[in-house]
Amino acid sequence: MKVCMIGTGYVGLVTGTCFADIGHEVTCVDNDESKIKTLLNNEIPIYEPGLEKLVAHNKDEGRLKFTTSIEEGVANSECIFVAVGTPQKDTGEADLSYIEAVARSVARNMKEYRIIVEKSTVPVKTGEMVRRTIKFNNKENVEFDVCSNPEFLREGSAIEDFMFPDRIVVGVESKKAGEKMRELYKPIIDQTFGKSSYFYKHNKNKSPFKKDHNVPIIITDVNSAELIKHASNSFLAMKISYVNALSEVCEKTGANVLEVAEGIGLDKRIGRHFLNAGVGFGGSCFPKDVIAFYNISIEIGLDFKLLKDVLDINKYQKQRFIKKIEKALWIVKDKTIGILGLAFKPDTDDMREAPSIDIINALLKSGAKVKAYDPVAMDVAKKVLTKVEFCDSPYDVAENADALVIVTEWKEFKDLDMKSIYKKLNYPILLDGRNIFNPAKMRKIGYEYHGIGLNH
Ligand code: NAD
């Protein structure tokens, strides 16, 4: 099928490229000229494992194009995906102005039947506003469908998440649109990527599925599909806040959150995922989606208090960690603090709402000097953290630092030579905000070790 992907950020670029890789003809559109220029120069504007090769292959095969022209994308494609940002407004609601702008442009360029698919995360009932906007702006009265197809990929494993999803959710308003969406996703549903798929060729043995597995596709109405995305992200954020609240209970009662999480997570009804205590969630999705969902509840005359608690616990957990650092250092002013990990999670360069930002800013405010290292997010971090000394390696961060703080659980940090780091530090204070180290081993080396929710 011919597909147009409007917005080539973390979601649009991955999704558009993956659609091309499973055999569709994809035109990716972005109004950021520099982004399109970068892509046309065979460079990738974001860090996402495996994406560069997948883009290059599909460009070479002629199935993936990049342009700044919505007109071109709409003219050439039956299915128009909208994957632009839906950031948080000061009020906490989702800012849908990018969605509206795209809906207007699509409508003005539509000459025949099109399916307009919301890929961005949007509040329930946005589809109705998209339909209305398109109707008002399409003077030729062209037939069209609005569809919701929320995205569940995670940065860092985005390609595999697209190719091997737990489920595909599609909200439609007509049978025709449902059939088209089923056809579009057929290679994913029945896991037949086709001979030309670069991904299939290089990841044949990585499939988590048994032979003949069919990925479930849930076809709903548009409102339900929109709601599924907010409800799903809020539930995951709730699990993180739950275990983070438990971590404080553990610290105050002499229990160990790692053991408690294992003990509850092995119950299939609960599940082990998203039960890792830490410094709180961040990123471009959970914080904004939970608050947007909470605002929807207020708007419809309900007060979904649980969501408010999820956000409050998340904020409190960060403050608790900052207090932990301050307590360990006794006096923060004029101390040098080494930070390992800046991105909001490993395997991405995304700094949006990263906990590192609040933690570092609080320490700077207390008069500390901050040195930091992240394997891929430093270029992005430099734009938001202007008073930090960025180092070339974790070992440089440790040199003469008065404490070492783990904020993001990059795998390479788990493999560090902690004996050599110990020798470089002024004070052997290790604050492990992600529980990546074994406390007993660290203490044996000589560290004063502080984890999250641990009793030993
Ligand atoms: P992003 O900021 O990385 O990308 C958005 C892109 O849209 C940018 O490149 C921007 O230039 C482009 N854009 C904005 N207005 C445009 C216009 N009028 N015409 C053409 N292009 C335009 O955002 P993202 O992280 O890819 O997120 C996109 C949406 O997907 C959001 O709603 C987000 O909540 C949702 N989502 C994100 C993730 C994730 O992990 N990042 C996962 C699932 C869902």
83 lines ligand 1 (CB under 6 A): yes
Instruction: Report how far residue 299's alpha carbon sits from residue 93's, in angstroms, rounded to the nearest whole number.
Output: 10
pLDDT tens figures, 99-151: 999 999 999 999 999 999 999 999 999 999 999 999 999 999 999 999 999 99
User: Does any ligand 1 atom lie closer than 6 A to the CB of residue 86?
Assistant: yes
Nearest atom within ligand 1 for CA of residue 8: 9
For the chain, the first-to-last Cα distance in angstroms comes to 57
Q: Which atom of ligand 1 is nearest to the CA of 12?
A: 26
User: d(Cα 439, Cα 447) in Å, to the nearest integer?
Assistant: 9
User: Which domains, ranges and CATH numbers included, belong to the chain?
Assistant: 2-220 (3.40.50.720), 236-450 (3.40.50.720)
Question: Ligand 1, residues 6, 8, 10: which to mutate, most atoms within 8 A of Cβ?
Answer: 10
Q: Is residue 28 annotated as part of the catalytic site, yes or no?
A: no
Residue among 71, 82, 84, 350 whose CB has most ligand 1 atoms within 8 A, to mutate:
84
153 lines ligand 1 (CB under 6 A): yes
pLDDT value of position 204: 80
Is 53 buried (19+), middle (13-18) or exposed (0-12) by CB count in 10 A? middle
Radius of gyration of the chain (CA): 24
Ligand 1 centroid distance, CA of 149 (Å): 14
Give yes or no for residue 8 CB within 6 A of ligand 1: yes
In which residue ranges of the chain is pLDDT below 50?
none
Which two tokens mark 281?
């969630």
What is the 451 CA–ligand 1 centroid distance (Å)? 35
CA of 199 to the centre of ligand 1 (A): 23
Does residue 121 line the site of ligand 1, with CB under 6 A? yes
Determine whether the shortest distance from the Cβ of 127 to ligand 1 is under 6 A. Answer: no
Six token digits for residue 251:
């610290």
Tokens 């990841």: give the residue: 203
The best mutation among 8, 11, 15 to test binding of ligand 1, ranked by most ligand atoms within 8 Å of the C-beta, falls on 11
Does the Cβ of 10 fall within 6 Å of ligand 1? yes
Please tell me the pTM assigned to this model: 0.95
Q: What is the pLDDT of residue 206?
A: 86
335 alpha carbon – ligand 1 mean position (Å): 39
Strands (E), 341-385: 369-373
The Å distance, Cα 276 to ligand 1 centre, comes to 27
Indicate if ligand 1 lies below 6 Å from the C-beta of 348: no
- Residue 83 Cα to ligand 1 midpoint, Å, equals 5
Element (H, E) at 74: helix 70-76
**C-beta of 11 in contact with ligand 1 (< 6 A):** yes
Q: Which residue among 17, 30, 106, 169 has the greatest number of ligand 1 atoms within 8 angstroms of its CB, and so is best to mutate?
A: 30
Predicted local confidence at residue 455, as pLDDT: 76
Q: Name the catalytic one among 79, 250, 285, 391.
A: 285
What pLDDT does 146 receive? 98
Q: How far apart are the CA of 364 and the centre of ligand 1, in A?
A: 31
Strands (DSSP E) contained in 122-231 are 144-148, 168-171, 217-220
Q: Residue 344 and residue 354: Cα distance in Å, rounded?
A: 4
In angstroms, the CA 258 to CA 242 distance is 13
Q: Is the CB of 9 under 6 A from ligand 1?
A: yes
What's residue 456's pLDDT? Answer: 61
Environment class of 314 (CB within 10 Å of its CB; exposed 0-12, middle 13-18, buried 19+) = buried
